[in-house]
Copies of this chain bind each other. A is one copy, B any other.
Amino acid sequence: MTLHRLEPLLNPASIAVVGASGNAARIGGMPLAHLTKFGYRGAIYPINPKYEEVFGLRCWPDLEALPAAPDLVVLALAAAEVTPMLKRCQARGVRAVIVYAAGFAEAGDAGAALQAELEAFVATTDMVVAGPNAMGFANLNTQAHTNFASVFNTAPMQQGPGRVSLLTQSGNVCAAVYAIARRLGVDFSHFINTGNEACVDFAQYLEYLAQDDATDLGIGYIEELRDGPRFMEAAAEFVRRDKLLILYKAGETEKGSEAVRSHTSALAGDQQIYQAAFRQLNIIQSHDFAQMAQLAHLAGYRHRSAGKRVAIITISGALGAILADKFIGQGLDVPTLPQPLQDQLHAGIPDYGMVSNPVDVTGNVVNDPGFVRTAMEALAVSDAIDAIVVYAPGYMLDRMADDLCAVAEKHPRLIVAIDTGAAKTRDQLRAGGVPVFEDIGVAVSALSPFLLWQERRKHNPWLQVRSQPAPARATLAGRADEHTTKRYLAEFGVQPVDEAVARTADEAAAVAERLGFPVVLKVLSADIAHKTEAGGVRLRLGNAKEVRKAFDEVMASARAYAPTAQIDGALLQKMEAGQVELILGATRDPVFGMTLTVGLGGVLTELYKDVSHRVLPVDEAMARDMLGELKAFPLLTGYRGRPLGDVEAACRAIAGFSRAVLALQEQADEVEVNPLLVKEQGQGVRALDALVLAS
């Protein structure tokens, strides 16, 4: 097996620091201080002609004087000195370099020029260059510290190996999350921050972590991705290897995006698309550093069986109600327990307790320890639930701890404890397979996404559709007008409304007779995108005379509106009625490529932002999920006595639309069906209007 090309960067066998200092507070001194203090076992080469020795290590005058080429060189130099030194690194046979210096792309035109020079040089080499403007890395399993992060001096020391890797687009965020997670006892494998990503971007580090045997779990922070598709592929590899990925995406508000843009040079992608992409890859999207840390802790128990149906066991009706509210609010289920299980619980619970779920065993139950064991055993094997959450104040939890551990040892089901008191058995429980949370809010905010991840972990519909062959390249047969676009889409299963083209008023009348009245008449021109504005649409035409008149008026209006447009006649369509009008829109996201938006038509939907997004491809099952995400979905499922809509046909049309869009490849930047009329169940859908905008 060949080593990954980032191996010398992230797992170096020898490290040189150019610009070495004997002062641990300086950026040329801190990595050396860390390497010696934390016991890195590879060769360490401080380089600085001013010193003979730093931190008890021989200091070398220059790179060329070293006895061997180091795997990795850390450059603690000013920006202007960087590229010349990179040239010397290449000459010396160095495989990887980390550049600390700021003053590149993030610092105006002069800096951008420096970075362009750096990139151009590195492109001619085989070296891997991280940064610039990076805080450096740490491999906590080998103690290869190539960073100037003071957090390693202040956060609690890691004692053993770790399996959690941290990957951020900000050194300060890397340090902040590390500090919080270390306080919770999370053990790390990699500490990575990407800096300006001149040569190695976020997605490439993610690729490394996906294949890294020391990484089970990735925690990341993203400002803007430079390569969305590569990111998707790396994240997909996480899914395939059953690793968990937790990401924080910054720039959720305009002000936040502004602040991000002012110190990165990446394009601003759409937050909604990031969210959709994360969801498609079963990435847990976090909005809180502490939550990320708690999730990392919880992920240590990911091999226990779990899912979204939770049983809540408390000694207080109030606390049970609070937990049920919170879990349900976060998308989990708190199912009523089956009657036989309730009966079994009832045997040991006083009448003023509760047995349905949440279960209130009452404070008395701890006086009957045999019952706690019996009850937990019964819950651990019930197929009505997937996970068990026990909330009891410290001293009661202490009395239950042996039983909880015994049940956890015997059964693989996830059991979680919450203790807002001060249980003495927390460590015993954690070691015995029962994670313990010290706060309800914290427990819910970690458990909810974790259990949903567990639920979705078994099957990823997007990876499945993506593994199928991509549709063959196709082209529109003719000019990209409404009629041609609909005929193209029809080949992929998006059924158009009954329609035909007429070149004259008489032809229009004849076509209308054939379609059946009433009809719609629209100007047909690939050069007129806004037909209504052009006076180019007439609705509800009831007879041949009205059609003829409409034809003449529409042609006149369109010519007046767009004198240079090529007008190819009129399009006549049957008036159709249905349940709901959908919009299907495909647009090219600057980060992720072609994406799909599904929503209800109309001004209110826009105000209520009731849309669902996905990165393409989308199949029928995913289309069903998208429709289900719409708050207005009940309009298709019999809301208040309405007839059912043809949801299946809508899903087929959406999946067909996805294939049609992908088959166009680079020929279209935007494809829209607006509206797609969804008729009653069994009556299908009709594309009433459609549009392709070329790139």
A residues contacting B by CB (< 8 A) are 102-103, 106-108, 150-151, 154-155, 169-173, 175-176, 179-180, 221, 223, 248, 250-253, 255-257, 259-260, 262-263, 287-291, 315-322, 324-326, 328-329, 334, 351-352, 354, 358, 360, 393-395, 420-422, 439-442, 600, 602-605, 607-608, 610, 631-632, 634-635, 639-640
Contact = CB atoms under 8 A, between A and B. Distances in A.
B393 A259 contact: no
A250 to B, nearest CB: 5
Given A107-B351, A328-B253, A635 B260 contact: no
5 contacts: A150-B393, A154-B394, A259-B317, A289-B441, A290-B439
A135 B270 CA distance: 52
Given A251-B325, A255-B324, A328-B256, A263 B317 contact: yes
A371 to B, nearest CB: 19
Given A259-B317, A262-B354, A607-B635, A288 B421 contact: no
B250 A321 contact: yes
A324 to B, nearest CB: 4
A635 to B, nearest CB: 7
Given A175-B393, A318-B263, A393-B176, A352 B103 contact: yes
B172 A393 contact: yes
Contacts of A360: 259, 263
Contacts of A395: 150, 154
A256 B393 contact: no
**Which of A173, A634, A640 has the most chain B CB atoms closer than 10 A to its own CB?**
A173
Nearest to A336: B255
Given A169-B318, A319-B173, A290 B441 contact: yes
Nearest to A180: B420
Nearest to A333: B255
B253 A317 contact: no
B421 A154 contact: yes
Given A108-B351, A253-B324, 20 more contacts: A150-B393, A169-B318, A170-B316, A173-B319, A176-B440, A179-B420, A180-B420, A223-B318, A251-B321, A253-B328, A255-B324, A255-B325, A256-B324, A259-B360, A263-B352, A287-B441, A288-B440, A290-B441, A290-B442, A604-B632
Contacts of A320: 259
Contact of A631 (B322, B440, B607, B640): B607
Contacts of A154: 394-395, 421-422
A316 B393 contact: no
Contacts of A422: 154-155, 179
A605 B107 CA distance: 49
A322 B288 CA distance: 9
Contacts of A252: 325, 329
Contacts of A170: 316-319
A35 B664 CA distance: 80
B394 A316 contact: no
A351 B111 CA distance: 11
B393 A291 contact: no
A334 B441 contact: no
A246 to B, nearest CB: 14
Contact of A317 (B103, B262, B288, B631): B262
A172 B360 CA distance: 12
The 3 closest A-B pairs by CB, nearest first: A170-B318, A256-B325, A263-B317
A582 to B, nearest CB: 14
Contacts of A421: 151, 154-155, 175-176, 179
A352 B172 CA distance: 15
A176 B441 contact: no
Contact of A325 (B180, B250, B318, B325): B250
Contacts of A393: 150-151, 172, 175-176, 179
Contact of A608 (B169, B255, B352, B631): B631
Contacts of A605: 604
A422 B156 CA distance: 10
A25 to B, nearest CB: 10
A433 B324 CA distance: 39
A289 B352 contact: no
Nearest to A253: B328
Contacts of A250: 318, 321-322, 325
**Which of A169, A325, A351, A358 has the most chain B CB atoms closer than 10 A to its own CB?**
A325
A221 B316 CA distance: 14
Nearest to A175: B393
Contacts of A316: 170-173
A272 to B, nearest CB: 15
A256 B634 CA distance: 24
A351 B263 CA distance: 11
A172 B318 CA distance: 8
B604 A329 contact: no
B289 A440 contact: yes
A328 B607 contact: no
B289 A420 contact: yes
Contact of A321 (B259, B287, B319, B420): B259
**Which of A248, A317, A439, A639 has the most chain B CB atoms closer than 10 A to its own CB?**
A317
A420 to B, nearest CB: 4
Contacts of A352: 102-103, 106-107, 263
A564 to B, nearest CB: 26
Contact of A354 (B259, B289, B632, B639): B259
A639 B322 contact: no
Nearest to A133: B352
